[in-house]
Copies of this chain bind each other. A is one copy, B any other.
């Protein structure tokens, strides 16, 4: 299993500094915090799933995990509520200029997104092409129309340009994916 993206590790010597995907994750944390403070939507990143093997439990207030391992997530990283609707998404960065490798998303997560749609939720992925500094919202309906009609192991950049929605880079909120949801799902409200 790969070291999960975006795990915050305090800096110390001889230690790996997890920073894969930090930037998009930080931007989304800021964005979700903005939505929360302004009472627009309630969306949180789920904690990284781990299996704990050993805990030093010195006192009620001082437990230190001494051995744990990362688990493969069974769901996406983000979910929450917006205008009464359940929303759910996964967010990934890629360095590729040509396509987004599907190996970045576990099969569990794909299955999870499909179930969410079937149950009436709003599901999508957010993909950032680092080289272009472009961040796309790709609705899960479009993701699945691609997956169901292709055997490719990656989604071409051109597909994002065609079917995805470019999320404009703003100061605040940084990655305003709610504006895309509004345009797709709440047109009549606007």
Query: A interface vs B, CB < 8 Å?
Result: 1-3, 7-10, 12, 15-16, 18, 39, 41-42, 44, 46-57, 60-61, 63-71, 74-75, 79-86, 88, 112, 115-116, 118-121
Contacts of A56 in B (CB 8 A): 15
Q: How many copies make up the complex?
A: 2
Asked if A16 and B83 sit within 8 Å, CB to CB, the answer is: no
Asked if A86 and B83 sit within 8 Å, CB to CB, the answer is: no
Give chain B nearest CB distance to A83 CB in angstroms.
Answer: 7
Asked if B83 and A120 sit within 8 Å, CB to CB, the answer is: yes
Question: Which of A1, A50, A67 lies at the interface centre, i.e. has the most chain B CB atoms within 10 A of its CB?
Answer: A67
For the complex with contacts A2-B61, A39-B118, A46-B46, 9 further pairs of A-B residues with Cβ separation under 8 Å are A1-B61, A9-B53, A12-B53, A42-B115, A44-B75, A50-B50, A65-B68, A82-B119, A84-B85
Known: A69-B63, A70-B65, A116-B42. A9 touches B83 (CB 8 A): no
Alpha-carbon gap, A116 to B10, bound state (A) = 32
| A41 to B, closest residue via Cβ | B119
Give chain B nearest CB distance to A50 CB in angstroms.
Answer: 6
Contacts of A16 in B (CB 8 A): 55, 57, 63
| A69 to B, closest residue via Cβ | B64
Alpha-carbon gap, A52 to B65, bound state (A) = 9
Contacts of A116 in B (CB 8 A): 42, 81
